[in-house]
Structure 1
Amino acid sequence: MDSSQLELSPHGVVICREPEHKTLAVFAKSDVTGLVALAGSKPGFDTDSSLNYWRDFGKRFLRALCHIPDGGELMIPPPSTAELAELVLNAPPMRGAEYLSPDVLSNLWKRMADWTKAQLDDSGLAGFLETHAPLWSRVGRVTLHLAENKGDPEFPFAFMATYASGLSKAGRVRQLPLGKALKEYAGANNKPALLKLLSPINAASKNSPLLADLVETGDIFHPLVWLPEEAYQFLQAIPVFEEAGLLARLPNWWKKRTRRPQVAVTIGEKQPSKVGINALLHFHLDVVIDGQRLSRSEIAELLKGEDGLVLFRGQWVEVDREKLQQALDHWEAIEQSGTVTFAEGMRLLAGAPHNLKSEEELEEHREWAFTQPGEWLAETLDQLRNPAQLTPPKTLNAKLRPYQEAGLNWLWLCAQTGLGACLADDMGLGKTIQVLAALLRKKAEMPEAKPALLIVPASLIGNWKREAANFAPSLKLFIAHRQYGQDTSCPDQSADLVITTYGMLTRLKWPAETEWSWVVIDEAQAIKNHSTRQAKAVRSLKADARFALTGTPIENRLGDLWSLFDFLNPGLLGSASQFTAFTKAIQTGNHEHYAPLRRLISPYILRRMKTDKSIISDLPDKTEMTVYCGLSAAQAKLYQQTARTLMQELKESEEGIQRKGLVLTYLMRFKQICNHPDQLIEHGEYESKHSAKFQRLEEICSEIESRGEKVLVFTQFKEITEPMADCLSAVFGRSGLVLHGGTPVKKRQQMVEQFQREDGPPFFVLSIKAGGTGLNLTAASHVVHFDRWWNPAIENQATDRAFRIGQQKNVLVHKFVTSGTLEEKIDALLTEKQATADQILTMGAEKSLTEMDNDELLNMISLDIERAGNSQ
């Protein structure tokens, strides 16, 4: 579970789940109210990274708000796209960080601006700040100007302080020299206004000797000409001035900060002899100013000259000889070998230390040096972002959506370059079919290749087997699992794909001894704890290419990240201790610097979310998935016993109503067993390990929880609603809602309103009779039919509690079916639209089953042990 105090919802709303401080309690009104209150308060209580991040964002907004001149129009444009992108990169790991984007932040900024305008009254901006952000209420409207004074080579810079004195007739802000404020505010009655205007100057002068001198001499009220060293001293203090609320207007070349000598490090100019994470890349460095390379003599000239602003090639440049020399020494030491490994090069390009150790030292050099990919590496990285468009394999029995084709091409490119890849698409976007398509392409283009190995949770073997049979029937599978009747003592080298489970991997020796073409792990969060046996077993596998599939946001939990990447690209994130030290370094200080880590891992992660406009436009409004669950040992035993008892009683029963009643009773029992054996034998414990459905529900909802989404769970049994709610409360870390026939009518609408809130409960368990109609529950993006009504019309009616025509999101419907049982056979009839299916649709499944003779009924209820499998 994440412990972040603030999180971002899939809809871009900042949420505080459990406010423990009166400042955070304001988030209950709205997120924009909370952000302004947070930014306007003192950080005098324990905070986490998420709180610091959103406070800084709110402070940006308040600073921009305070710099609007008195009488000026309330226009608060958001930061530039580049600035917003940098804010996204530097976001700390927190729940919902995967939903962050420049668009989301820009929209949040706009909502803050709209809310601010709505709050303004006759007291104007000053009154707003006094009410909502009192710490900012004294920020003034003074602007400090610095410009080149080209007509005077002795004093080449000019300085002046101005203040906003209302609007001109044309509606523009009128800037006047600060000295005129003394006249405008002359007299005792206007003294408070003058003091308020000058208070930011006095505040800034406490941290700027230059400004303190200007205030003491009174020169702040007059235009001045300056020497280069005075101008440089002023420029270095800009952050102090802005923090105090002063505006600064500066030369464009200073804003861009390109007019300084920097060490330019180029990595990967030429193609290495081999590719992969351990490839050796060419490495060299130059010194440049504004993109122009300097000669050795020019570098020497700068290092021997003066610090500060120096006229060089007819332009003013910033020089700090000590920092420039330190940057040169640092990078020349790395350059001695002439090469770096691919992993080291990617670290450097991401802005991380090549050895993940000296982050503090690198931070000092960051302003005086930069890294860039050479021609070959730039082309390779561009291919990772935009892989070549290849035709899907002809043997694939499906038409891929455009984003799935892109995923196939990306996986293929990563396999060819030997780079590990994590396909992190949202649930329901088709990770399985993309991998099967890649395997078919490998079979077609590399027929002599070694087998690929797929490792999955036991509950997913049946799903992979069915998907392969449907979409890639030409793939030869070997399932190394006892319940599927195949020998687990050795692999079948003629197979295209060997499938086993995480549990079997720790018991078998041959997977670690075999050279695989590809190793694919599904539900990759299974190895998030690097110290477990199964995580170690997975990382020990030998393969030419490694893929991980997951729907959870992996980069939001730093502790899980190293284990996954040590499987995908061993060495990229260093050793476990190196990575721990590196992450501690980037988390220190008031402004955490996560961008290097995000840049480092992002080339190897492909994530598409249902919230992406480019994805949702290509999806149906409802995506329905059949989720095949096995049977636990306890379920299988009880199912077989019940089937034998039914057949014995049928032999002894009379025809007619008595027989129909008997069949209906046992059909209900089979449904209960498929849900959980405790539902039939009424033990009341409902341990998840005894039910494959409960285990699969936990797995699916764990992914839903990690993304901050909501789910509706439908069942036809009132008695199982509370056990399911208890199970889900453990998964989500907080309680949800339960509605059944015994829920008072008045309470139902209150529950709906509670669920619909952005910060409301994450799950809602409903009996299909009580919750199947009349409720508007569109906050949910997932619907689970835990047990089937065997009537699609009723199921669709329940699904439509979450789905409404015209809503801007895709609803994912999970229909649970227990493999090898009566549930699967009836589901097959309903799917295939056979004559019996039509009869079931019109008469109801239970009624039609009572009409079958004993042999037909035995065939329907008999257990197929191999298909049912064992979820343990």
Structure 2
Amino acid sequence: MHQALLSRKSLVNATLRLTPRGHLVFEEASDAPPVPDLLASRLTKAFSRGEGVGLVALGAGEPTTALPPVLAFWRDFSGRYITALTAVFEEEPLEVPLPEREILERLCADCPPMTGGEYLTPEILEAFWNLMAAVVKADVATSRKGLQGYLASMHPGWNLVGRVHFNLAENPKDPEAPFAFLATYTSRLGAHGKAQHLPLSRALSEYSGGKKNAQLLSLLLPVQRAAERCGWLAEMVAEGEVYHPLRWQVGEAVRFLKDVPVLESSGIVVRLPKRWTTGRPSRPRVSATVGQKNPSVLGMDALLDFSMAVTLDGEPLTPEEVQALLASEEGLQWIRGRWVEVDAARLQSLIARFEGVEGSFGGGVPFAQAARLLAGASLDDAVPSDPDWSEVVAGDWLETVLSELRSPDSLSRADPGAKLAATLRPYQKAGVSWLHVLVRMRLGACLADDMGLGKTIQVLALLLTLERARPSLLVAPASLLANWQQEARRFAPSLRILVAHPSAMDPDALRTLGEGQLAEVDLVITSYGTLMRLPDLQAVSWHLVVADEAQALKNPDAKQTKAVKSLKAEARIALTGTPVENRLSDLWSLFDFTHPGLLGSRKAFTEATKKMTHYGPLRTLVAPYILRRLKTDRSILSDLPDKTEILAWCGLSRTQALLYQKAVKELEETLSEAEGIGRKGKVLAFLMRFKQICNHPSQWRGDGEWAPEESGKFQRLGEIAETISARQEKMLV
């Protein structure tokens, strides 16, 4: 019992948060994963000195510590800088070039769900990289230990990359030993400022005798480290073969290639043949194309055409060549005038799994399955995910669709015309067109624009562009029903609106409301609570279902979530002002409403994300169906007015409605008896009572309870505050 208590006390719930201004904050949070308290203490101290210090401490000081996904992501990012730093020679300036833009973009896409993740950009990563560089330069200068000593003080596992190079070359003139090995080292700079590469055997004479022995030991230290982990290298060192050119057979070259990561982590520079442009021999890949043609039926269940081939550098291999690869036992195969890396068992397994996917659905693949294949998001065992040996590419039709969804600004406009009594801003027009494409394809959408960017008017404009053969349904918190009704009357007066709520309909008429009474209605507006109490409404086949404040659906076990997800519709739209990708469980529940099946079952998704280390494929999978514009976006900023005022209409709670109705009756009775100036005084007194009841019943009763659920204004304020809090913004009440 004592040990269990001690174990719990030694853990702290803490994580990193990215602020809207691009600052990293390490802090304790109740919903953060647990980390050892000593680690939390170290990181708290480091990040209190600045992001650069914190990132260096995380990347250099915790290279082997088991970390939760968010901390692991930032450790890996800062570790990239430290790893690049190890390639700098002691006597050279501490200059580490920035990663290429493409790499930074890939890192942003791969970021795990975290608070503030929507603010992460390549520019922010560049800024953090430069901060780390400034910290390391200052620390190395003041430590007087040199770079190696500084890194060793952070963690003993860091090694400077030495000057020893292991070179592997092709030797086509020798069929029995088609590869050659040579170990070299870099000496002083040559006449043109380039490092000279000399055979490693020369180092024995250059550094022989006296004080130079220490230099020789330092030079050979990476070789010693690698030999401790590679048996074949230990034999070469013991026999002195590492100092001489060697003829290698295929098996020896394969053995070398398998241990390249070990050699590099030990500080040895590995140089492979220049024609191996990817840094390794070419690999055959099981390549599938999905969605070449337009499917006959649209929607998540649409079957897309699927074709498979084994390719080499993008060119399909013949059946005979494939069989030769599958029969290979050495790991390298000479084919089409080049050496090809082969893993026969892996290839055979992938071919079988792709054939299984193709055959499971009668020659086609459902849209959801195709999307997962294309994104490389392995959310169930049926989807092959091995990017080193396989690839899935979109066919012409699917590539066109996905490109349009990823670039809403380039879509042809879906224009509501004069039916919309307002002028849409450019980004709103793009949003309407994006929604229109998805609804037309019977796919769902998540419109997650910042609060104040006009999600309501975009949905109303969309409804005006759709054929009104069947009614659509909008479900929202009760506190927003009045707002939707007012906005619809103002901007889309031609829409025939029905508010299905006790505050707007006779209870008996509401209870019997069904498909038969909706023939002359374009849009039904109701609340989540009312929907659960109206089974006839749940049985209607809707054209479109829109869920406002869709974070209300984040709990998949809640009754209101189940009620909304049971609705039948051609397409579904979720509206939310909070970041939808910051919590994986929320993301699944939301997409289970908008795109049932896209993220697999709840159990499969949970199990898959527990093992997930790279989140890029998951983001790629959901990205076409989420549109989130921020007020901080440059393209949006230039289009916004200096100030935006939004009226938030609030309905009365049940308690407020009863008190209000009672007060109205009392006023009627009072006025029937009052006369003259007394009558006017009574009216003024009751106006104050009405105002107090509308604010909160406790203001009128004076009981000091102030229960939030008793006030429509309190409930709406809570919803607004929750949205603003999720976006790490501030509000003045």
TM interval, short-chain normalised: 0.7 to 0.9
Query: Residue 498 of structure 1: which of 508, 524, 547 is its match?
Result: 524
Shift of the alpha carbon at 1:130?
4.4
Query: Residue 314 of structure 2: which of 263, 279, 291 is its match?
Result: 291
Pair 22,4 (structure 1): closer, same or farther in 2 beyond 3 Å: closer
Counterpart CA distance in 2 for 1:409 and 1:266 is 28
CA contact (8 A) 1:7 1:96 kept: yes
Q: Does 2:369 align with 1:335?
A: no
Query: Residue 41 of structure 2: which of 22, 31, 35 is its match?
Result: 22
Pair 244,426 (structure 1): closer, same or farther in 2 beyond 3 Å: farther
Pair 3,415 (structure 1): closer, same or farther in 2 beyond 3 Å: farther
Q: Aligned residue for 2:371?
A: 346
CA contact (8 A) 2:90 2:148 kept: no
Counterpart CA distance in 2 for 1:666 and 1:120 is 75
Pair 141,469 (structure 1): closer, same or farther in 2 beyond 3 Å: farther
Counterpart CA distance in 2 for 1:416 and 1:132 is 57
Q: Aligned residue for 2:336?
A: 313
Q: Aligned residue for 1:431?
A: 455
Give the residue type in structure 2 aligned to 1:522: D
SS at match of 2:415: coil
Query: Residue 692 of structure 1: which of 712, 722, 726 is its match?
Result: 712
Shift of the alpha carbon at 1:340?
1.6
Counterpart CA distance in 1 for 2:64 and 2:674 is 74
Shift of the alpha carbon at 1:208?
2.3
Pair 303,16 (structure 1): closer, same or farther in 2 beyond 3 Å: same
SS at match of 2:644: strand
Pair 538,222 (structure 1): closer, same or farther in 2 beyond 3 Å: same
Cα deviation per residue 1:293-324 (whole Å; 9 max; x = unaligned)?
A: 11112212222344323222112211222222
Give the residue type in structure 2 aligned to 1:605: I
| Equivalences for residues 57-456 of structure 1 within 5 A | 57-121=77-141, 123=144, 124-133=146-155, 135-136=157-158, 140-149=162-171, 155-165=177-187, 167=189, 171-187=193-209, 189-252=211-274, 253=276, 255=278, 259-336=282-359, 337-353=362-378, 356-357=380-381, 362-363=384-385, 365-386=386-407, 388-390=411-413, 392-394=415-417, 395-442=419-466, 446-447=467-468, 449-456=469-476
Shift of the alpha carbon at 1:331?
1.8
Cα deviation per residue 1:716-763 (whole Å; 9 max; x = unaligned)?
A: xxxxxxxxxxxxxxxxxxxxxxxxxxxxxxxxxxxxxxxxxxxxxxxx
Pair 617,152 (structure 1): closer, same or farther in 2 beyond 3 Å: farther
Counterpart CA distance in 2 for 1:190 and 1:694 is 78
Counterpart CA distance in 2 for 1:7 and 1:560 is 18
Pair 633,246 (structure 1): closer, same or farther in 2 beyond 3 Å: same
SS at match of 1:255: coil
Q: Aligned residue for 1:548?
A: 574
| Equivalences for residues 666-677 of structure 1 within 5 A | 674-677=694-697
Q: Which moved more, 1:97-106 or 1:271-280?
A: 97-106
Counterpart CA distance in 2 for 1:690 and 1:137 is 64
Q: Aligned residue for 2:630?
A: 609
Shift of the alpha carbon at 1:544?
1.0
Could you tell me the TM-score, scaled by structure 2's length?
0.86
SS at match of 1:88: helix
CA contact (8 A) 1:70 1:164 kept: no
SS at match of 1:493: coil
Pair 72,518 (structure 1): closer, same or farther in 2 beyond 3 Å: same
Shift of the alpha carbon at 1:604?
1.6
Q: Which moved more, 1:675-684 or 1:487-496?
A: 675-684
Shift of the alpha carbon at 1:481?
0.8
Q: Aligned residue for 2:591?
A: 565
Shift of the alpha carbon at 1:524?
0.7
Shift of the alpha carbon at 1:372?
1.3
Q: Aligned residue for 2:73?
A: 53
Give the residue type in structure 2 aligned to 1:619: L
Counterpart CA distance in 2 for 1:520 and 1:118 is 55
Give the residue type in structure 2 aligned to 1:10: P
Shift of the alpha carbon at 1:184?
4.9
Q: Aligned residue for 1:625?
A: 646
| Equivalences for residues 644-655 of structure 1 within 5 A | none
Shift of the alpha carbon at 1:22?
2.7
CA contact (8 A) 1:69 1:166 kept: no
Counterpart CA distance in 1 for 2:590 and 2:101 is 31
Pair 263,485 (structure 1): closer, same or farther in 2 beyond 3 Å: same
Q: Which moved more, 1:288-297 or 1:128-137?
A: 128-137
Counterpart CA distance in 1 for 2:235 and 2:677 is 107
Cα deviation per residue 1:478-514 (whole Å; 9 max; x = unaligned)?
A: 1001112464231532121110000000001222211
Give the residue type in structure 2 aligned to 1:572: L
Q: Does 2:729 align with 1:704?
A: no
Shift of the alpha carbon at 1:9?
2.0
Query: Residue 459 of structure 1: which of 479, 488, 492 is its match?
Result: 479
Identity of paired residues, percent? 47
Give the residue type in structure 2 aligned to 1:528: K
Q: Which moved more, 1:72-81 or 1:464-473?
A: 72-81
Cα deviation per residue 1:90-122 (whole Å; 9 max; x = unaligned)?
A: 332222222333343233223322333343416
SS at match of 2:724: helix
Counterpart CA distance in 2 for 1:158 and 1:258 is 15
Q: Which moved more, 1:275-284 or 1:612-621?
A: 612-621
Cα deviation per residue 1:45-66 (whole Å; 9 max; x = unaligned)?
A: 7732212222122211110111
Shift of the alpha carbon at 1:242?
2.5
Give the residue type in structure 2 aligned to 1:430: G
Counterpart CA distance in 2 for 1:470 and 1:75 is 60
Pair 15,182 (structure 1): closer, same or farther in 2 beyond 3 Å: farther
Unaligned runs of 5+ residues in structure 1 are 715-872
Shift of the alpha carbon at 1:276?
0.8
CA contact (8 A) 2:471 2:521 kept: yes
Counterpart CA distance in 1 for 2:165 and 2:693 is 75
CA contact (8 A) 2:272 2:280 kept: no
Counterpart CA distance in 1 for 2:119 and 2:387 is 28
Give the residue type in structure 2 aligned to 1:352: A
SS at match of 1:144: strand
Counterpart CA distance in 2 for 1:509 and 1:641 is 31
In angstroms, what is the RMSD of aligned CA positions? 3.3
Shift of the alpha carbon at 1:629?
2.4
Shift of the alpha carbon at 1:87?
2.7
Counterpart CA distance in 2 for 1:549 and 1:456 is 10
Q: Aligned residue for 2:617?
A: 596
CA contact (8 A) 2:667 2:686 kept: no
CA contact (8 A) 1:38 1:55 kept: yes
CA contact (8 A) 2:292 2:395 kept: yes
Count of equivalent residues: 695
Give the residue type in structure 2 aligned to 1:249: R
Cα deviation per residue 1:267-295 (whole Å; 9 max; x = unaligned)?
A: 12222221111111211211110001111
Cα deviation per residue 1:17-39 (whole Å; 9 max; x = unaligned)?
A: 12942321211111221111112
Give the residue type in structure 2 aligned to 1:198: L
CA contact (8 A) 1:357 1:578 kept: no
Shift of the alpha carbon at 1:690?
2.2
Give the residue type in structure 2 aligned to 1:571: G
Give the residue type in structure 2 aligned to 1:274: V
Give the residue type in structure 2 aligned to 1:711: K
Counterpart CA distance in 1 for 2:270 and 2:341 is 18
Q: Aligned residue for 1:761?
A: none
Q: Aligned residue for 1:11?
A: 21
CA contact (8 A) 1:307 1:321 kept: no
Shift of the alpha carbon at 1:44?
7.5
Pair 192,319 (structure 1): closer, same or farther in 2 beyond 3 Å: same
Counterpart CA distance in 2 for 1:265 and 1:340 is 11
